[in-house]
Amino acid sequence: MLTSHITANTPRDINAVKHADVDLLRPMTDKEIYGNILDALLGGTDTTANFICFVAYYLGHYPEIKQRLIQEFDRVLGNDLTRPITNKDLNELEYCDAVTNEIYRHSPMVYLIGRVSFQSDKVGGYDWKEGTTFQMLASAVLKHKDYWTEPEKFDPDRFYRVEESDKYLLEKKKLRNTFPMFGGGIRMCPGRKLAIIELKCLLILIYRKYDIELVDMNAPLKYRSDFINCCTELKVRIKPRKF
């Protein structure tokens, strides 16, 4: 990846066909290369690695939800553990989507979303100049009582087929604008679809074959908040799953 960035739009570039605006058909600067590599490492590796830890923590505390998730894996993928996972399989894992969304709502990987205003505007009763940097506290939005029914409750059903009932009426009305898992607008995470595929495949490969238990059910979720929320310690027992 680093090599492809360094050689992009140079005589050493192996990509003959370009799909970009004219102003982008130039070699990348060191700053641009650094930014892209950093985004790839943080957005494509660290987030998923840490989120898997958070998944193990929450599923360890909610065994009935873990069992329901595994039942969906078995129903969609069958009993053959060697069968390749298809895109059709992933699209059918609706409860898996709901579980990961609810875990993210309680423990978001990215708790701040930054934006820079391109024109002067009035926000919150104040006048802000063009070029002002705004930091939105996503973790507060994800637990706000105006947007979520019983916001402190852990329940994946708030994301599962919510259109079929009015149990989670707030979520039905406001979910589109209150769940910024991958940001929003034209600056939304470009790798969001790949991240979802990666996450689902990992969960399938792990939980269909292994039983994961927390060593200490009373231990708190240990993490630090840097650029993203990073799990610092999670002790688990991993055993072959009994069928």
- CA 54, 165, 161, 64 dihedral sign is positive
Query: What is 22-109+141-240's CATH topology?
Result: Cytochrome p450 (1.10.630)
Specify the pLDDT at position 187: 67
pLDDT at residue 234 greater than cutoff 70: yes
| CA–CA distance, 103 with 122 (Å, rounded to integer) | 34
Contact yes or no for 136/146 (Cβ under 8 A) = no
Structural domain spans, the chain: 22-109+141-240
| CA–CA distance, 216 with 197 (Å, rounded to integer) | 30
- CA 40, 43, 49, 52 dihedral sign is negative
pLDDT band for 191, please (50, 70, 90 cuts).
low
Contact yes or no for 52/202 (Cβ under 8 A) = yes
Lowest mean pLDDT among 21-35, 124-138, 144-158, 227-241: 21-35
Please choose, from the candidates 111, 114, 2, 115, the residue with its C-alpha nearest in 3D space to the C-alpha of residue 47: 111
Lowest mean pLDDT among 42-56, 153-167, 185-199, 221-235: 185-199
**Was 230 annotated as part of a binding site?**
no
- What's the pTM? 0.80
pLDDT tens, residue by residue, 38-63: 877 766 777 888 899 999 999 999 99
Specify the pLDDT at position 241: 93
pLDDT tens, residue by residue, 102-117: 999 999 988 888 888 9
